[in-house]
Structure 1
Amino acid sequence: MQKTSARLLALLSLLQARRDWPGALLAERLDVSPRTVRRDVDRLRELGYPIVAVKGPDGGYRLDAGTRLPPLLFDDEQAVALAIALQIAATTGAGIEEAAARALNTVRQVMPARLRGRIDALQVTVVERPETRAVPRVDGGVLMALGAAVRAREVLRFDYASPPGADERGAQAPPRRVQPHHLVTWGGRWYLVAWDLDREDWRTFRADRITPRTPTGPRFTPRELPGGEVAAFVAGRFRGSGGSDWPCRGEVILDLPAAAVSRYARDGVVEELGPDRCRLVLGSWSWAGLAATIGRFDADIEVVGPAELKRAFAHLARRYAAAAGEGA
């Protein structure tokens, strides 16, 4: 027969594996008597595990949710996954970096040596792009409130701060009323995807600008998201369209190797035409923006089309020429 401590861990592992366990089946699995199972259940309760008795012909037990966090039991793979997740928590922008570091240290201290070696071998270094270093952190309480409203399918009311530099004169804007559908991350920021009840349209809101109001509103039946897939929808919104493609797409030939262009083409299509020549098909939210993006490659450009892209290059050429003249 197993020692008491080992048997308790085995019992806890079984209770975590399924919702309800008949007492007789637990006794059979542990190779003990039903009376021993009852005593072990009482010991786990003393440790803080909320185990409730299940009524029925055979009786049984269930590991329920409690009011405090008791000691947890993880298998090897769960422990490694948890430690890895805590290491990369700094990339979420959720303002939980310090808490994640403390949690990782706690988990590591109780890991057996064989698992600590696996975790120590994986050291994650977060390298932020220059344009995302100043990304505002989101209060964890705000994320919890948004996530709870999404899960409960309850109308959410919140104040929405204006972006820095915006004209904030006049009366304070009324709170927004939305049906929250998804909480997502994009480019290091958190966003709420929701149906705006007052504007009767889909909107994406920066989570760091949201101040939730309480209480939440009534429950709602979720609408179907355009395209049906949240990742494609959000990508389309940030490209400047409601669909999954850029509103402006053009084709050019660059006097650069395809390998040099493809590293910076994002979701563009690069086709090799020769050792130092390639075709690039790229999209953007505007024709001027597309022309400026292509101009960053610092190479001779041949515009294949469309005409809107050619006009955008001409417009930028005049603007840059004027700027050079003013600086002369």
Structure 2
Amino acid sequence: MASTSRRALRLLSLLGSRRQWPLRELATRLGVSERTVRRDIETLRRLDYPITTVHGPDGGYRLGAGHTLPPLLFDDDQALAVAVALQTAPSTVFGLADDAARALAALEQVMPAPLRAAMGALRLTRLQNYWEFSAPPIDSTALTAVGAAVHRRHVLVTETLRADGSRPEPGDDDFLPARRIEPHHLVVWAGRWYLVAYDLADQEWRVCRVDRLHPRPTTRRFTARELPGGDLAQYVMSSHDRGDTTAAWPCTGSARLRLPAGVVARWAPGGSVVEHLDSEHCRLTLGAWSWAGIAGILATFDAELTDLRPRELVQACRRLAHRWAVIGETGDSDDPAH
């Protein structure tokens, strides 16, 4: 009986790990006959697990979605993966930190002792790294509203918030009236959530920061449109107005690069702002812990730089140019004579 129970649990774990399994492969994985697998599947069905039979030459078995949530099952590797993911997930959605902690505690409670000990050995402490550029946290209700509208293809009414999350009032310089948009895609890039949407008033595509939106759902459906260029990643990264603000740094500077915005956006550090100027030029605004740091990052693009701002950045570039010139004149720096 114990062997049968363990096998059934292992079978359930396999069914939950991918969309569909052929009967022969399940039998091979479990080391039993196909007849035994069929019997174990019937046992799981009697326990209300919605296992569907898929007919045809490419058929097999599939774990479907049920009306009630049966007990979930992870094997050891899956449980450890979930535990680590819950500890390392970025906190970009407001309020999910507590939910993640509660989920981790619930997972630990049902783990067998050996697995709980292994998980305890992976208890992590998250340290802030200077190259993390997450945007301000997003309210989970707003993110859910946007995600549901994308999935259901329902028009959204949105208001644009200030960078601090407050709502501008009529008469303010930054006040924008509510807009009706068709939300097509949710994108996460460099720790920031973006919505790719079609603005019905201007009849233009837009890329919006989700943390800068106050969405109001509607029930009006829309038909999916073809994204310009057809490349979602390229479109988001090359869009010149995403509502971004440069991440806070001790030093912030910018330069005009002789490279397309899409190229620069793909390789610029998170938290940078890439402004489209024309088909061959863009302006990159970024921050670092020193002016020399900004100059060094700009140099990695190996492209013509003009219109550098502010004056401190120009001076840092001159100092670096002098240092590189000295190295070029003295030769190999590993030579003891130098």
TM-score by length of 2: 0.61
Moved more, 137-146 or 119-128: 119-128
Taking the aligned partners of 1:202 and 1:42, their CA distance within structure 2 comes to 51
Look at both structures and tell me which one has the larger radius of gyration over its CA atoms.
Answer: 1
Aligned twin of 1:44: 44
Of residues 198, 210, 226, the one that matches 1:207 is: 210
Q: CA deviation at 1:56?
A: 6.8
Aligned twin of 2:79: 79
Q: CA deviation at 1:8?
A: 0.6
Taking the aligned partners of 1:25 and 1:280, their CA distance within structure 2 comes to 54
Matches within 5 A, 1:287-306: 290-292=308-310, 295=312
The amino acid of 1:240's aligned partner reads E
Give the conservation status (yes or no) of the 8 Å contact 2:50–2:66: yes
Moved more, 238-247 or 61-70: 238-247
Q: 1:225 to 1:73 in 2, by over 3 A?
A: farther
Q: CA deviation at 1:53?
A: 4.3
Give the conservation status (yes or no) of the 8 Å contact 1:156–1:180: no
Q: CA deviation at 1:242?
A: 7.2
Q: 1:167 to 1:228 in 2, by over 3 A?
A: same
Matches within 5 A, 1:90-169: 90-111=90-111, 113=114, 116-117=117-118, 120-121=121-122, 123-127=124-128, 136-151=136-151, 154=153, 156-163=155-162, 164=166, 166-169=168-171
Aligned twin of 2:331: none
The amino acid of 1:269's aligned partner reads A
Give the conservation status (yes or no) of the 8 Å contact 1:179–1:194: yes
Of residues 270, 275, 296, the one that matches 1:240 is: 275
Taking the aligned partners of 1:299 and 1:33, their CA distance within structure 2 comes to 71
Taking the aligned partners of 2:278 and 2:185, their CA distance within structure 1 comes to 17
- Report how many residues are paired: 276
**Identity over the aligned pairs, expressed in percent?**
33
Give the conservation status (yes or no) of the 8 Å contact 1:80–1:119: no
Q: CA deviation at 1:222?
A: 2.8
CA displacement, residues 255-283 of structure 1 (integer Å, 9 cap, x when unaligned): xxxx9766444741169xxxxxxx99768
Taking the aligned partners of 2:8 and 2:181, their CA distance within structure 1 comes to 50
Alignment partner of 1:193 is 2:187: no
CA displacement, residues 162-189 of structure 1 (integer Å, 9 cap, x when unaligned): 4248452399834322342333244x54
Q: CA deviation at 1:223?
A: 1.4
Q: Report SS of the residue matched to 2:62.
A: strand
Give the conservation status (yes or no) of the 8 Å contact 1:193–1:204: yes
Give the conservation status (yes or no) of the 8 Å contact 1:91–1:126: no
Aligned twin of 1:256: none
Structure 2, unaligned stretches of length 5 or more? 241-260, 266-272, 322-338
Matches within 5 A, 1:236-275: 236=261, 238-241=273-276, 247-248=282-283, 263-265=293-295, 267-269=297-299
CA displacement, residues 189-224 of structure 1 (integer Å, 9 cap, x when unaligned): 422122323223332223232313121422213313
Give the conservation status (yes or no) of the 8 Å contact 2:184–2:224: no
Moved more, 25-34 or 92-101: 25-34
Q: 1:132 to 1:229 in 2, by over 3 A?
A: closer
Give the conservation status (yes or no) of the 8 Å contact 1:162–1:168: no
